[in-house]
Structure 1
Amino acid sequence: MELALVLLVVFIALAFEYINGFHDTANSIATVVATKVLSPGQAVLLAATTNLIGALAGTAVAKTIASGLIDTNVVAVTPVVLICALLGAVIWNLITWWWGLPSSSSHALVGGLSGAALAAAHDNWHAIIWAQGGAHWWGEKGVLPKVVLPMVTSPVAGFILGFLLMGLLFSLMEFLGSRTGRLQKLGRTRFANAFFGKAQLVSASAMGLSHGLNDAQKTMGIIALALAGATASGTLDHVPSWLHFLRIEEDASRQFEIATWIKVLCALIMAAGTAVGGWRIIKTLGHKIVKLHPINGFAAESASASIILTASHFGIPVSTTHNISAAILGVGVAKRANAIRWTIVERMLWAWILTLPITGALAWLMVRAARLLGWAE
């Protein structure tokens, strides 16, 4: 029974990663598809490749998810707790995907973990690490420095950077136009489209790399956490020899090394989700907010990737959704404020605000229900 629960955690975690592909990987390639620099199939292939490279490049975010948000001295993170946390995130992701809203899979997972841990600890709020240790906020553990603060600051930074970069590119194009006399409309000439179309291949690759380095690691952290706990408890002691790869030995679990098979599997599952269901989100980000050209896509992707790569270095699980959306808004405002469809933006903001409390509440209710049914203590 315990082994079945551990395997169920892995399965649901991979389902979450697949659904993450609907949302966040779709976000990472929305602009390059919208500007028609790449076809959807080419963009998915690019995303899969760069996600895989990013997923193999580090484990800082995975460590934050696995050990920096929930105090395991207060509450036991059992397979049932992880299942409820993941289901809370999955349900909300499916709802927002159906509505075509680019909500945050990152915050859905954090909300689910927090709500499930709170219920498992019998509503002891100390089960959640709010802020702990570190000489600077980026070196601290906890929901406040690692999730809530970046949830506000990273989109603001993405908006500002997108706005400034777009303004700089517009100024450069205007300068070149005054010198050559041939550029009639900024960012829409053959020269601009050809140049920034090629440049967007680089910026789109950077988006995929940053997404793999940040988002793909979140599910890796959940799977590694479940397998490390199962190994330590002896649940995997008597598995068949062909399942020995599931074991995470004591030294590895202490340092929290992520097995290569977990990294590769998560990256591939995420790419599959993008290929199957990501186009609802791509339509919202790439077409409904503001009309994009290659120069706009390059600016938005460059700004967003810069923010996410910086956050990944410090182990901060930021939202790809929030950052690329904010960068697109910054680029759109630099173009002209009335180019933005603000009703779409309002719907997105509500999805952002509600993600943490709703996923937390869903996971809390499921743990309470599991306890009533005798499935959890």
Structure 2
Amino acid sequence: MVTTLLVVVIILAIVFDFINGFHDAANSIATIVSTKVLSPFQAVLWAALFNFAAYFYFTDHKVADTVAKVVYAQFVTLEVVLSGLIAAIAWNLLTWYYGIPSSSSHTLVGGFAGAGMAKAMSLGTGPLVAVNFVPIIKVIAFIVLAPIIGMVIAIVINLLIINISKNAKPATAEKWFKRLQLVSSAALSFTHGGNDAQKVMGIIFAALVANNVLVPGADMPEWIPLVCYSAIALGTMSGGWRIVKTMGTKITKVTPLEGVSAETAGAITLGITEHFGIPVSTTHTITGSIIGVGLTKRVSAVKWGVTYSLIWAFILTIPITATLATIVFALVHYIF
């Protein structure tokens, strides 16, 4: 039976997906804006188009299935999902306001897990019994692995491109790399949509199971991916300029050649992790890729002071959102 609370949860999930879009728009367009290949408005339209195009390709929903299983089914209630979403939205808005490119993925996972632990405590059991550590360990491992993989792939691609094009005329090379950035940014937006929209799909699916609208193991209703991909694309169209500035200029100065390398590395990394159903952070991945292209010039080309602050945001996101979610759950549990 569809209840008012279920409708509220679904609406909040879609709102989170929209916020994810404008929060993470920078991941797809930062380099293409900083290299002046497209204007900011053109860039967000381009990214949004390929965010939505992912709907037609990523049909296995492996990432959605992983996210839905972060909390064991017996501890998943609408109150748990609601609390996790409120905590995730709050942290996403706060980090967006201050221009901190934290992970929307980890925000959602942390909030969901924290609310599940609060539910377990309300039942008089230990908090950790609610958490499925198989997907959690994957998520935590790739806090470290995703940016490293992106960085290594970016270094390899950048060095290959430099060697292949070393005899080209600079003006001609730059012209071609600006064109290629349209392709690489489209690829990154495509895999970003396929990775991030699925996380909200998993949350909505978990809410429907918790409310007995669906049974565990049921097929994903088609309206869920359609709505989620639409929401993230619309969110991307609304921008996220504070984070664009951080990603595009404050980590290292990026040329069109380096933009192609970073975006291609990010797209490859996201494509691989989606294939294995690992909900990685798009933000972490592209940050590592941008650092990688900076390192191919020299270590000092990377602004490490900014990078260290980003790393702290990466580390703290899950515990902070989990804590927020436990507080929100206590309030929600009291109200309902």
Query: What TM-score range do you get, normalising by the shorter chain?
Result: over 0.9
- Match for residue 170 of structure 1? 162
2:210 alignment partner in structure 1: 229
| Residue matched to 2:26 | 26
CA contact (8 A) 2:48 2:237 kept: no
Separation (CA, whole Å) in 2 of partners of 1:277 and 1:34: 14
Take 2:298 and 2:252, find their aligned partners in 1: how far apart are those partners?
10
Question: What amino acid is aligned across from residue 305 of structure 1 in structure 2?
Answer: A
Q: TM-score, normalised by structure 2?
A: 0.93
Q: CA deviation at 1:369?
A: 2.5
CA distance in 2, matches of 1:10, 1:34: 36
Q: Say which SS state the counterpart of residue 364 (structure 1) adopts.
A: helix
- Matched with 2:128 is 125
Structure 1 portions without partners, runs of 5+: 132-141, 178-182, 184-188, 233-247
Rounded Cα–Cα distance in structure 2 between residues aligned with 1:339 and 1:124:
44
Tell me if the contact between 1:25 and 1:271 (Cα under 8 Å) persists in the aligned partners: no
Q: Percent identity?
A: 42
Distance 2:209 2:73 in 1: 13
Q: Does 1:101 align with 2:93?
A: no
Say yes or no: does 1:116 pair with 2:115: yes
Rg larger in structure: 1
Distance apart, 1:172 and its partner CA:
2.4
In the TM superposition, 1:143-182 aligns within 5 A as 143-144=136-137, 146-174=138-166, 176=167
In 2, Cα distance between equivalents of 1:22 and 1:49 = 14
Q: Distance in 1 between matches of 2:255 and 2:55?
A: 29
SS at match of 2:81: helix
Letter in 2 for 1:361: T
Structure 1 residues 38 and 277: alpha-carbon distance in aligned structure 2, compared to 1, 3 A threshold: closer
Structure 1 residue 2: Cα displacement: 7.0
CA distance in 2, matches of 1:158, 1:6: 38
1:3-24 C-alpha deviation (Å, 9 max, x unpaired): 1110110111111111111222
Counterpart residue number, 2:283: 321
Structure 2 gap ranges (5+)? none
Counterpart residue number, 2:319? 357
- After TM superposition, give the deviation of residue 86 of structure 1 in Å: 0.7
Question: Contact 1:63/1:256 (CA < 8 Å) preserved in 2?
Answer: no
Secondary structure at 2:258's aligned position in 1? helix
Shift in Å, 1:33? 1.6
Q: Residues 25 and 211 of structure 1 are in contact (CA less than 8 Å); yes or no, is this contact kept in structure 2?
A: no
What residue identity is the alignment partner of 1:307? Answer: T
How far apart in 2 are the matches of 1:229 and 1:124? 19
SS of equivalent to 1:317: coil
> 2:258 touches 2:293 (CA, 8 Å); kept in 1?
yes
Which residue of 1 is the match for residue 62 of structure 2? 60
Q: Match for 2:165: what amino acid?
A: M
Q: Which residue of 1 aligns with 2:292?
A: 330
Cα root mean square deviation, aligned: 1.8
